[in-house]
Amino acid sequence: MIPPCYKCEERHIGCHATCNGYLEFCEARGKALERQQADREARDISFESVMRWKKIRKREKK
């Protein structure tokens, strides 16, 4: 994602506090990061269950 202030002609010091485009960008980026975090948590749960299963199978083979 590229912020809207990239190559902006009206850019000045402190403009992020007043720029509506930048605030919308931050909201969209925050939502995207939340979705990524949820996906990571689901993958972590799946990975942990597979590793637990492998550990149990390894004990059963002994």
| pLDDT (0 to 100) of residue 55 | 82
Structure tokens at 50: 């597979």
| Whole-structure pTM value | 0.58
What is the DSSP-derived secondary structure letter of residue 17?
A: G
What is the pLDDT at residue 30?
A: 93
Instruction: Name the residue with higher pLDDT: 62 or 18.
Output: 18
Q: Which amino acid is at 54?
A: K
* Residue partners of 21: CB distance under 8 A and separation at least 6: 4, 5
pLDDT digits (tens, 9 = 90+) for 6-50: 888 888 888 878 888 888 999 999 999 998 888 888 788 788 888
Residue 62 has pLDDT above 70, yes or no: no
Furthest-apart CA atoms within the chain: distance in Å: 70
